[in-house]
Structure 1
Amino acid sequence: MCGFTPPATRVGSSSPSSLASGSRAGPSGLEPWTGAPPREAHASPSRRRRDSLVRHTNVSDLSVTQNHQSSFAALKVPADLVAVLNAQGITIPTPIQAATLPDSLAGRDVLGRGRTGSGKTYAFLLPVVARLVASNRTAAPGKPRALILAPTRELVGQIHEALKPLAATNGLSTMTIFGGVGQNPQVANLRRGADIVLACPGRLEDLIGQGHCNLGNVEVTVLDEADHMADLGFLPAVRRILERTPSNGQRLLFSATLDNAIDVLVKKFLHSPVVHEADSAQSPVSKMDHHVLHIGRESRIPVLVDLASAPGRTVVFTRTKHGAKALARQLNKSGVPSVDLHGNLSQNARTRNMEAFHSGQATTLVATDIAARGIHVDDVALVVHADPPTEHKAYLHRSGRTARAGAAGTVVTLMTDEQVRDVRQLTRAAGIKPTTTKVTGASHPMLATLAPGERVLVPGGLTLDVPTSSPQRSSKPKSSGNGGGGNGGGNGGGRGRGRSGGGRSGGQASAGAGSKPAGSSNRNRRRSGGSSTGSSTGSSSGGHSAASFSSHR
């Protein structure tokens, strides 16, 4: 764990003596928040750091939180929010939700660790909405009452989609802030007043510096995918943003891993946080099958075409942006409707490509690591590491696109002779024991085992030239991989361009404001043509605005 020493873990639902019920003064003179631990409104950083250190233990001493509450109502989630969840078919809390909600709803600072897909989003959205409703304030122009920070635009957009029905039920206004689009609509939304702002750090700092946003009224702050923000170099900006929020506000930090970078934030900004872990730091999903295919370079594209042309959604990861673009083009040329997702795409193109993948127009998403965190699409049957990642955390986060919410999934890593040593070290560090198979081409029977079903190819794949009609489909029992040669994966380490300073959240992904909620659970592929293509950077056919604002007053 790289030396991380988190605060004492809360086990079960009993309250430790150090977290005895008290009251916390809200920001800017708000009434006390019942049930929260007492907190000095302006404690010095050094004193707060010492207080945090008192409650630190070794990570090896942490145990998985056990909370056997079987419903959101039993966890004291307000009835109107429970009704919203039930209407969406969400009735049973996930382990991370059951673990954290009693403390977060009581107003305590929470440090939660759970793998991608564990349900962290509702674990922080529910207490955020509940707190704002309880305080019954009105958002002033340019002064949000709650702030949710996330590393990528797509993740901001997906959180926003989950938040909208919860906010609408309680008359709360919401908006998103991220770079890569014009800021004027975002400024206008801030001026109208937003209860909850969901933002990427860079653009938010821009607007703060220009005087459009003031965080002095923030009652609760959330950091989602905090470790990913650290990986992208956003921590200095995150620290500056947190310093602008009231020190007596509630803070919730959620992360897939807890390491030294996160420890810096915990020590400075969280007050006596309660730590909850939903699973082991390196625990692979129990229903996820891991396989390594040892291939020759000449077999790479034929094998990928065969795997991706099977029924079900497929996510293919490459190491570089150029590699993702090239591979998506090769798959489309070979008859696999594909889109790409990487930092070189415009915001409209990212939104359009994700919508094509959500809807089933595209059955394969070729992405760099920007899609490895937080991007949720139902029923991804197969994840393929066309380029093996360089570190085990990236492997686990990439693989987390499948086997979500208890579903089964398969993860395949393509390995050439030159990569044998690196892949063995990677899987060992990730704590998995994959099945390794020597594959000489697309006719190998293992491919049908990993991706069963009839192979379906669409001439031309997915192109902009076919706006609505479905192209003629060709079908055959087993593809021989007629994708041609070439290596679309590329080399190098183009994870994305993080920054240590302010400015826009450039380089890192994603369709924020216009994202559709994770939908389409149909596992059978729809090979229809559409108005989007992976490598194009044209405007979105959906016509989404640059900034997203939802007002339900």
Structure 2
Amino acid sequence: MNARKAPRNLSNSVIPTSGVIPASGESTSFASLGVPAPIVAALTGGGITAPFPIQIDTLPDTLAGRDVLGRGKTGSGKTLAFAIPLAARLAGGRRRPRRPRGLVLAPTRELATQITATVEPLATALGLRVTTIFGGVSQHRQVRALEGGVDIVVACPGRLEDLMQQGFVTLDDIEIAILDEADHMADLGFLPGVTRILAATPKGGQRLLFSATLDNGVDKLVKRFLQNEVLHSVDEANSPVAAMTHHVFEVSGADAKKALVHTLASGRGRRILFMRTKHQARKLARKLTDAGIPSVDLHGNLSQNARDRNLAAFADGSARVLVATDVAARGVHIDEVELVVHVDPPAEHKAYLHRSGRTARAGSAGDVVTIVLPDQRKDLSALMRKAAVKATPVQVTAESEHVIRLVGEPAPHVAPAPRPDKPATRGHHPQGSQGGSRGPRSRGNSRRRSGGSRAVSSRRHGS
């Protein structure tokens, strides 16, 4: 394993910074931040020419080998902020079977797939190999990739631990380990597994931790695994995205809510509707499709194939609406989602921010609507205060001016394809919510431990 690069001469304490830009007054480029030329060329080839603030802040330290604790809101560009130093550090190294040199841990299959999509072009430019490891699918392809030799593993904790225990992978050669969405790892109960995995990596390796918040045990990971770390906090922990407009629509009852949801779903652009339960998400997607609004669902009861196909349909435009539970609140990164609707308000403020973060990504604008029944007003008011979001509630119906102006011109209705008498339990119906039951789990691969999907992902650097 390569020796750890010497850090810059900074103090031993965590050093907070915010939005630091070189004093030259000139616009900052990736090259001026020290990014290697092959990576700059790969970024330019993908249409990425200017770094975001969190990238400007962190790259000088991460490229110099420092441990970094990065905090920034969803859509701020964290993925590329760690993908660049990950690829740069491993350039020119020796590849060996079952012994990756770079590791990224993510809480969900969707996020792991998105990270891989961001890392791969940079890795390819340097001759590096990347593989993704998560549960919910056969481990055969993952084992075969490891045995063939990979430089970078992007993994969910559950399946990675399974493969470690079976002897298919060792972390003894890890030079750089990255933990993304650390706060969500904590929310899902993954911290014990994350701790065991990080403990299996060499102490001298570089470690980067990115998180929207630093609560729920994340600070314990920082204290144990990061050394002389630098803190880069581009945004307040719970700050909403500036280009995001928030709306609270109050309705009189269940029937008014149904009509409003139908109208909000009827626009021409992509939109994501969040529901509290899997059953309600599937039911709503089917009803919208039957009404001429092609929709698909995303939740924990779908098989891997169904997730893949539903996300692909949403990304390619054959379905304009994605009806999801909180499984899509993180990790689903698809360009040009113009509207997020909290059909059922979330239970807590962090879920609100992460759900909402599916729109207005990478500097784009977007709208967020929360639908509120009379008995939900008090709870929502408290939630919005905690989320630091200000939105004046408006009493509406499906025909209200506020609603019509937000939705814009409705899209043409699409006749739903006929359904078989007995829908398949796996797979996806081409027009609507026809997902499937979850496939068989491999050993130690409970839904609680691993997640995943080959989510169609954006290559924009704000993902």
Give me the TM-score of the superposition, normalised by structure 2. 0.89
Is 2:186 the counterpart of 1:234?
no
* 1:142 aligned residue: 98
CA distance in 2, matches of 1:509, 1:322: 21
Paired letter, 2:167: G
Q: 1:436 aligns with which of 393, 406, 410?
A: 393
Q: 1:282 aligns with which of 226, 238, 244?
A: 238
* 1:203 aligned residue: 159
Q: Provide Cα deviations, 1:427-473, integer angstroms capped at 9, x if missing partner.
A: 1111111131112x3222221122112343223279799x9xx99xx
Q: 2:458 aligns with which of 518, 524, 531?
A: 518
* 1:341 aligned residue: 298
CA distance in 1, matches of 2:412, 2:295: 13
CA distance in 1, matches of 2:284, 2:312: 19
CA distance in 2, matches of 1:97, 1:417: 43
Aligned with 2:346: secondary structure? coil
Paired letter, 2:282: K
Is 2:141 the counterpart of 1:185?
yes
Is 2:248 the counterpart of 1:308?
no
Is 2:122 the counterpart of 1:122?
no
* 1:42 aligned residue: none
* 1:101 aligned residue: 59
* 1:540 aligned residue: none
How far off its partner does 1:289 sit?
1.1
* 1:541 aligned residue: none
Bigger radius of gyration among the two: 1
Aligned with 2:255: secondary structure? helix
Q: 1:91 aligns with which of 49, 57, 74?
A: 49
Q: 1:225 aligns with which of 159, 181, 189?
A: 181
Aligned with 1:89: secondary structure? coil
Aligned with 1:251: secondary structure? strand
- The 1:56–1:82 alpha-carbon spacing in structure 2 relative to 1, beyond 3 Å, is closer
Work out the number of aligned pairs and report it. 438
Give me the TM-score of the superposition, normalised by structure 1. 0.75
Contact 2:183–2:216 (CA under 8 A) maintained in structure 1: no
CA distance in 2, matches of 1:36, 1:462: 62
Q: After TM superposition, what 4+ stretches of structure 1 lie above 2 angstroms from structure 2? A: 32-38, 54-57, 62-65, 454-457, 459-465, 502-505, 507-512, 514-520
CA distance in 2, matches of 1:463, 1:114: 44
Is 2:219 the counterpart of 1:263?
yes
How far off its partner does 1:511 sit?
5.0
* 1:398 aligned residue: 355
How far off its partner does 1:282 sit?
2.1
Aligned with 1:328: secondary structure? helix
* 1:36 aligned residue: 7
Is 2:378 the counterpart of 1:456?
no
Is 2:106 the counterpart of 1:166?
no
How far off its partner does 1:404 sit?
1.0
Is 2:4 the counterpart of 1:64?
no
Paired letter, 1:183: Q
- The 1:379–1:386 alpha-carbon spacing in structure 2 relative to 1, beyond 3 Å, is same
Matched residues, percent identical? Answer: 52
* 2:312 aligned residue: 355
- The 1:217–1:207 alpha-carbon spacing in structure 2 relative to 1, beyond 3 Å, is same
Aligned with 1:406: secondary structure? coil
- The 1:509–1:359 alpha-carbon spacing in structure 2 relative to 1, beyond 3 Å, is farther
* 1:326 aligned residue: 283
Aligned with 2:32: secondary structure? coil
Contact 2:17–2:57 (CA under 8 A) maintained in structure 1: no
* 1:82 aligned residue: 40
Q: CA RMSD in A?
A: 2.5
How far off its partner does 1:299 sit?
1.5
Q: Provide Cα deviations, 1:352-373, integer angstroms capped at 9, x if missing partner.
A: 1111111011101111111111
How far off its partner does 1:374 sit?
2.8
Aligned with 1:456: secondary structure? coil
Is 2:193 the counterpart of 1:250?
no
Contact 2:110–2:451 (CA under 8 A) maintained in structure 1: yes
How far off its partner does 1:260 sit?
4.2
- The 1:37–1:461 alpha-carbon spacing in structure 2 relative to 1, beyond 3 Å, is farther
CA distance in 2, matches of 1:419, 1:278: 33
How far off its partner does 1:37 sit?
6.0
Aligned with 1:419: secondary structure? helix
How far off its partner does 1:56 sit?
5.3
CA distance in 1, matches of 2:417, 2:376: 30
* 2:438 aligned residue: none
